[in-house]
Amino acid sequence: MSTFLSKEVQEGLHAARLASLKKASRLRVQVGDDIFPVLCLKRDGFSVEAGTVPPLRGLVDLYDGANHLYQCLIVASEEELGEMRYEFKRSTVVHDHAPLDFYRDPDGPVALIGN
């Protein structure tokens, strides 16, 4: 049995793999006003399709649908099999409320009742 695949078959397999990753992922990266689909998100970075996305660098925002997940500082890592991989230099989770600058006692009053 031979494990050799022709160049056309390999290209077809890579194209099908990229198409399935794009279809399955709801993740996207926003750079300024431009939005690009994310193929894969890992702990230390993410990947996008190399042919359709221009080179990214600097501060970007990662979204899952309409939910803002992270604000990230990125740097390009490598291109492999049609995917461009980026690594996080910094990745900050986005919160929907401002952080408290004081300790809130869990047994403390919720509101102040006046006279």
Q: What is the pLDDT of residues 27-78, one digit of tens each?
A: 899 998 999 989 888 899 999 988 888 888 899 999 988 889 999 999 988 8
> Which pair of structure tokens corresponds to residue 24?
């399955």
The alpha carbons of the chain give a radius of gyration, in whole angstroms, of 21
Q: What pLDDT score does 23 carry?
A: 64
Per domain, the residue ranges of the chain are 27-93
CA distances from 105 to 99, 100, 102, 109, 110 (A): 15, 12, 10, 8, 10
Predicted confidence band of residue 115 (pLDDT cuts 50, 70, 90): confident
Q: Give the residue among 22, 28, 110, 11 at the shortest CA–CA distance from 62.
A: 28
Q: Quote the CA–CA distance of 86 and 101 in Å, as a whole number.
A: 34
Residue 1, pLDDT above cutoff 60: no
On whether the CB atoms of residues 16 and 2 are closer than 8 A, the answer is no
Mind listing the pLDDT tens digit for each residue in 64-112?
888 899 999 999 888 887 889 999 999 988 888 777 788 888 888 878 7
Residue 20, pLDDT above cutoff 70: no
Q: What pLDDT score does 95 carry?
A: 84
Q: What pLDDT score does 22 carry?
A: 63
The mean pLDDT of 22-31, rounded to a whole number, is 80
Strand order in the sheet with 27-31: 34-37, 27-31, 58-64, 67-80, 83-93, 45-49, 40-41
On whether the CB atoms of residues 20 and 2 are closer than 8 A, the answer is no
